[in-house]
Amino acid sequence: MKDSDYLKKLGENIRAIRLQKKMSQVDLAAACDFEKGNMRRIEAGRTNPTVVTLIKISKALEVDVIDLFKF
């Protein structure tokens, strides 16, 4: 698997959890203190989020960070 494939899968997982929680992308971005465009890039797998970013996302989604990596 290429690096870009991992980022894409990570973004897909974040999106799936967000939708399960019935949150919009705007809501999640606001809860993380990000701009919507940043959240869009993360979910699309077009950026490599930092550990701190992933912690913020997991807290906003009320899941463990490891749940974002269930490939």
The domain that holds 24 is classified in CATH as 1.10.260.40
> Tens digits of per-residue pLDDT, 26-70?
999 999 999 999 999 999 999 999 999 999 999 999 999 999 998
Which domain does 18 fall in, by range? 3-61
pLDDT single digits (tens) 14-31: 999 999 999 999 999 999
Q: Where are the alpha helices (DSSP H) in 1-71?
A: 3-20, 25-32, 36-44, 51-61
Hey, what are 38's tokens?
Answer: 């940043």
- Domain count of the fold of the chain: 1
> Which residues, in sequence order, are CB contacts of 52 under 8 Å at separation 6+?
none
User: Are 25 and 36 within 8 A, CB to CB?
Assistant: yes
Residue-level length of the chain: 71
